[in-house]
Amino acid sequence: MNINRTDVDALNAVLSLEIKQEDYKEKVEKILKDYRKTANVPGFRKGHVPAGLINKKYRVPVMVDEINKMIQEKLNSYIQEEKLELLGNPLPKEQEDIDWENAKDFNFEFEIGLAPEFDVDLKGKKITSYEIKVDDKTINDQIDRIREQYGKLVNKDEVAEGDEITGVFRNDDEDINVDATFKTDRIKGKTNMKKLVGSKPGDVLKLKTQNLFENDQDLNNLLKIDQEKVDEGINVPLEFEITEVNTREKAEMTQEFFDKLFGPDAIKSEDELKERLREDASKQFAQQTDQKLLTDVTESLIENTKFDLPADFLKRWIANNGEQEMTAEEAEEEYNRSEKGLRYQLIEGNLIKNNEDLQLKFEDLQEYARTMIRQQMAQYGHTGATDEEVDQVVARIMSNQDEVKKMSEQLQNEKMLDFFKENVSLKKKEVSYEKFIEEAYGA
């Protein structure tokens, strides 16, 4: 069997396979002989079916199957031997109907899309690397929220700002009749707040759905209004009958309170609580800023690393290799949706190929799994696990392909992030959490 490559351009080529009778004849004849020994054909004893009958009935399907196997094996071995970096898989070219009954020699052609060659410049435009400052206000606000969460409800006779109100929203035309509990800080506008403040259980207030809550999503969450109507900006009158008013007294900063939060004697003072919350917040914020940095570097690399793709080939490949065949228009839409992801895969692959520290090794995964298992055990209070116990769990995880794939992706992301921090031009910026959310997400 011969295989030849013809380059169309730098990104497209055609592989031509020439298969002669001597390439498949011996295998086909052996299979047909085995069929003759086992075939059950009415009118003939097992093993005594005439060779001509077996040949007539099975020769073509056996030959087609064997030739297809040979094609796949030859393509795979050629791609490996030539170290071709393909995008998608070889795509058979259309050809006239094959005369399987009479032909002895065959020719097949496959289109292939080749990965582009390019360099990655990491020292381009500087990218902002955020560091969220955990200031005293952030910590004090968090302590206030925690104290409210662990505090107790105290019933009241009249609504004041900051209180928690329970009541029934009604509108017969819209089939609204729901109990709801919310704090006054979720209400939008001075007019609505003026109606609430000073009201008492038993009072029935006249309100409207429009501009009732700071977040319109509360119309769905609290009033159970269909999301579609919320999105359309529903504006209907409401009656709200107040049934209960409560204020939440904050928990006292006692040892009992500290123990509820972190366990017996882990925290013994307000200063220790603040320090613990500051450490936890720093870790949480670091995860958010790391994710933002990874996203920004990824977008920058995609935008500034220029290379062409075999787009036409990929669209045809997408159209013919899904669970269902796509039209040309559907394939183009799918290609457009996935192009940025494909570009980053190629960029990431280029970086991994050219930087040994980014390449995952089996030992790296094992150590990563050990660290992960020890952390999980510690969360459940099992801090004294032996190496043997940990390694037994690691062995079970490493035998699960899905778990190995998941860990590989996580570890690769961590390696990429560390690599970017060391090699990308960064502009460090210290901000508050609120400023980070505003700048990073436009909120």
Confidence (pTM): 0.73
Going by CATH, does the domain composed of 152-249 fall within 3.10.50.30?
A: yes
pLDDT tens, residue by residue, 169-179 = 999 999 999 99
Superfamily of chain region 2-114: Trigger factor ribosome-binding domain (3.30.70.1050)
**Rounded distance, CA 277 to CA 264, Å?**
17
Q: What is the mean pLDDT of residues 366-395?
A: 85
Does residue 404 register a pLDDT over 80?
yes
Phi, psi of 315 (to 5 degrees): -65, -40
Contacts 24+ apart (CB under 8 A), 222-231: 222/169, 222/178, 222/180, 222/182, 223/169, 223/176, 223/178, 223/180, 224/176, 224/178, 225/174, 225/176
pLDDT tens, residue by residue, 153-163 = 899 999 999 99
Residue boundaries of the structural domains of the chain: 2-114, 152-249, 268-307+355-441
pLDDT tens, residue by residue, 48-82 = 778 888 888 889 999 999 999 999 999 999 999 99
pLDDT tens, residue by residue, 91-112 = 999 888 888 888 999 999 999 9
- E strands, 274-317, where? none
